[in-house]
Structure 1
Amino acid sequence: MPDGIATSDAVYKTLLESTRAIPWKIDWQSMTFAYIGPQIEALLGWSQSSWVGVNDWAERMHPDDREAVVNFCVSQSQAGTDHEADYRALTASGEYVWIRDVVHVVRNAAGEVEALIGFMFDISERKQAEQRLADLQKQLEEYSYKDGLTGVANRRMFDRVLEVEWASAQRSLQPLSLILLDIDYFKQYNDHYGHIQGDDCLKSVGQALGMAASRPRDFVGRFGGEEFVLILPETDAAAAAQVAERCRRLVREQGIQHARSQVAPLLTVSLGVGSIVPTASAQALDFVAAVDKLLYRAKEGGRNRFEAAQWDAHTADVAELALR
């Protein structure tokens, strides 16, 4: 071999082996490694000589990634298409490192696949950064739908859930119930005990309502100020009345003193309870407005109580339940 060529090969080899990227070459016919850079040992802990065939590559891949990545790389290589693949590679110590393989397909004069050459890159830091960003985005999304004080859902989330559950009830012709509740004489509570204790009071009420609505699809949110709301899918009028009474009882059992209440020495709530099987033309906002009127009737009727009404799919008339 001429000295110039030998020198060039040595230079290229030195350059390849001095980069953080790990060069490799696979012979397509034998499916064996013709070469892999010594950097592989520093990254994964496996010796350079242990990379014999493609099985060594596949078996040192996370089980959850293996089938999809191997199938993708094989199909792309067979088609003669350059490609990239991200996966978790097993280290000799039993941990996993995120790898990006960048693959170039080499063809012979006849156009047949002859070899695969490529580079492995350690992308663990990038993946960790992506995961931190995804976690942050998820957290921000949760915050955007959560009331910052009480921890229950906020009005924005209520609007979204009501839209979904209303449409579901229209399709299935199943009853949907809504409870709006208001803390009795909350302004007087704040004036007497102060806003810090008022905030604690709101938190306690939110916790009590969370216990009252126990099914997976039941929704509890803060409607605004001292008002809370519950959405109860597939819940008829009788069951909704039971939930309303449970809300009233659980708030009372918090034992929150309210010296300025005109109905009881402990904190109480008033509730409006509506149940409906919505028709195709019925509007969710009209339903909310009707339930809100029931809440105000409960307050006008003495507070610490609830009033309820129900609609069905065949009439727009309100059939009032027994008022409690």
Structure 2
Amino acid sequence: MSTRPEAVPARAGQPQPLPESADVYRTLLESTRAIPWKIDWASMRFAYIGPQIETLLGWSQDSWQTVDDWVSRMHPEDRDAVVGFCVSQSQAGVDHEADYRALTRDGGYVWIRDVVHVVRDASGEVDSLVGFMFDISERKQAEEERMRLHRELEQLSLTDGLTGIANRRMFDQRLETEWSASRRSGSPLSLVVLDLDHFKQFNDAHGHVAGDDCLRRVAALLRGVAQRPRDVVARFGGEEFILLLPDTDAAAALALARQCMERLAALGIPHGAPEAGPVVTASLGVGTATVASTGEASDFVAAVDARLYAAKRGGRNRIEVLAD
């Protein structure tokens, strides 16, 4: 009677162990779209890189000799950050991944994701790095398109659809930012609030198409008055506009308000309603604040807006200034 154990047949569907052949593993690695590679840590030389690299980037397999070849074929804008990150993570023995643009032989760039595994020797020291390069260009293009659309939607959400200037939401955001900046620096912050006189009657007399055109022309006029990078020209609602003027003292704010009136008069937009004069005019409120720690931006806006309505009560086509 034999004492030798009988071989147990594998059950259907049970995974079989791979034969221990380097050729099998190489075939598996080189049949994927991912590009395998290995770098010897001591010499910083490529021990291996898959032949797929030539299909992807155009550089021949044997041209990848050292890490310098990897570094030199990276986009200059990505190079310092990616190399620094990968070196520090490798030195610490931490597996990691990095995205960067790799130079193709014909001068283009391909987005790569490098997934890196740190191999240690018996003493725990770093022996080598092994990993895979993945072409993620399509994914990056999709991400960039999503970001572009997001930026466009964000911009639309902050822009008045009729006039193209900032809307109330944008004004409120910038007001909070500039209010905080003024509080820190002690610099003055000014507002000019402008409302077109008898605008309902203008629409009644000329129609809403002409009314919309009038609002667009006034918005363009105001952009020409307040044109520093931090200035904000916003449609505050209806026929009311507001100028947010950082680092602007009371005298300069009043001068800008007068420019608004002069340029509006120069436009000469016919009005003709019985209650109004021959051309479209506006009433303005002006105020300047040196922000205190206890002040609220909304209170300042309300105070300047009140001066606008004082100008309305005082006869229109005039400026009222908020007292210090």
Scaled by the length of structure 1, the TM-score of the pair is 0.89
Task: Confirm whether residue 97 of structure 1 aligns to residue 110 of structure 2.
Answer: yes
**DSSP 3-state at the match of 1:310:** coil
Q: Paired residues, what number? A: 308
Unaligned runs of 5+ in 2: 1-16
Task: Confirm whether residue 36 of structure 1 aligns to residue 49 of structure 2.
Answer: yes
Instruction: Classify 1:184/1:71 alpha carbon distance in 2 versus 1 (closer, same or farther; 3 Å).
Output: same
Per the TM alignment, residue 207 of structure 1 is displaced from its structure 2 partner at its CA by 0.9
Per the TM alignment, residue 222 of structure 1 is displaced from its structure 2 partner at its CA by 0.9
Q: Which amino acid aligns with 1:79?
A: A
Partner residue in 2 for 1:308: 321
Cα pair 2:196 2:280 within 8 Å, conserved: yes
**DSSP 3-state at the match of 2:23:** helix
Per the TM alignment, residue 23 of structure 1 is displaced from its structure 2 partner at its CA by 0.7
Task: Confirm whether residue 161 of structure 1 aligns to residue 178 of structure 2.
Answer: no
**DSSP 3-state at the match of 2:107:** coil
Partner residue in 2 for 1:215: 228
Measure, in 1, the Cα distance between the counterparts of 2:128 and 2:309: 78
Partner residue in 2 for 1:321: none
Partner residue in 2 for 1:271: 284
Cα pair 2:303 2:322 within 8 Å, conserved: no
User: Paired residue for 2:305, among 271, 288, 292?
Assistant: 292
Greater Cα shift, 89-98 or 235-244: 235-244
Task: Confirm whether residue 129 of structure 1 aligns to residue 131 of structure 2.
Answer: no
Partner residue in 2 for 1:249: 262
Measure, in 2, the Cα distance between the counterparts of 1:276 and 1:261: 38
Cα pair 1:218 1:233 within 8 Å, conserved: yes
Per the TM alignment, residue 161 of structure 1 is displaced from its structure 2 partner at its CA by 2.0
Task: Confirm whether residue 230 of structure 1 aligns to residue 243 of structure 2.
Answer: yes
Q: How does 1:65-144 map to 2 (within 5 A)?
A: 65-144=78-157
Cα pair 1:276 1:310 within 8 Å, conserved: no
Task: Confirm whether residue 9 of structure 1 aligns to residue 22 of structure 2.
Answer: yes
Q: Which amino acid aligns with 2:140?
A: K
**DSSP 3-state at the match of 1:239:** helix
Task: Confirm whether residue 25 of structure 1 aligns to residue 35 of structure 2.
Answer: no
Greater Cα shift, 253-262 or 300-309: 253-262
Measure, in 1, the Cα distance between the counterparts of 2:123 and 2:165: 67
Measure, in 2, the Cα distance between the counterparts of 1:286 and 1:112: 65
Per the TM alignment, residue 6 of structure 1 is displaced from its structure 2 partner at its CA by 8.1
Measure, in 2, the Cα distance between the counterparts of 1:208 and 1:235: 19
Q: Which amino acid aligns with 2:221?
A: A
**DSSP 3-state at the match of 2:284:** strand
Greater Cα shift, 96-105 or 276-285: 276-285
Measure, in 2, the Cα distance between the counterparts of 1:166 and 1:106: 54
Q: Which amino acid aligns with 2:156?
A: Y
Larger Rg: 2
Q: Which amino acid aligns with 1:161?
A: R
Per the TM alignment, residue 7 of structure 1 is displaced from its structure 2 partner at its CA by 7.7
Cα pair 2:39 2:45 within 8 Å, conserved: yes
Measure, in 2, the Cα distance between the counterparts of 1:228 and 1:9: 75
Measure, in 2, the Cα distance between the counterparts of 1:138 and 1:104: 36
Q: Which amino acid aligns with 1:109?
A: A
Per the TM alignment, residue 245 of structure 1 is displaced from its structure 2 partner at its CA by 0.9
**DSSP 3-state at the match of 1:30:** coil
Partner residue in 2 for 1:322: none
Q: Over residues 95-115 of structure 1, what are the superposed CA-to-partner deviations in whole Å (9 max), with x where a residue is unaligned? A: 111111111112222222222
Per the TM alignment, residue 50 of structure 1 is displaced from its structure 2 partner at its CA by 0.8
Instruction: Classify 1:7/1:233 alpha carbon distance in 2 versus 1 (closer, same or farther; 3 Å).
Output: closer
Instruction: Classify 1:71/1:285 alpha carbon distance in 2 versus 1 (closer, same or farther; 3 Å).
Output: closer
Measure, in 1, the Cα distance between the counterparts of 2:311 and 2:253: 16
Measure, in 2, the Cα distance between the counterparts of 1:211 and 1:261: 30
Scaled by the length of structure 2, the TM-score of the pair is 0.89
Measure, in 2, the Cα distance between the counterparts of 1:237 and 1:116: 65
Q: Over residues 163-186 of structure 1, what are the superposed CA-to-partner deviations in whole Å (9 max), with x where a residue is unaligned? A: 232333334333222111111111
Measure, in 2, the Cα distance between the counterparts of 1:232 and 1:213: 8
Greater Cα shift, 47-56 or 262-271: 262-271
Measure, in 1, the Cα distance between the counterparts of 2:45 and 2:128: 10
Cα RMSD of the aligned pairs, angstroms, is 2.0
Measure, in 2, the Cα distance between the counterparts of 1:279 and 1:109: 66
Instruction: Classify 1:167/1:105 alpha carbon distance in 2 versus 1 (closer, same or farther; 3 Å).
Output: closer
**DSSP 3-state at the match of 2:114:** strand
Q: Over residues 289-317 of structure 1, what are the superposed CA-to-partner deviations in whole Å (9 max), with x where a residue is unaligned? A: 22222111212222222111331xxxxxx
Q: Which amino acid aligns with 1:210?
A: R
**DSSP 3-state at the match of 1:295:** helix
Measure, in 2, the Cα distance between the counterparts of 1:117 and 1:250: 69
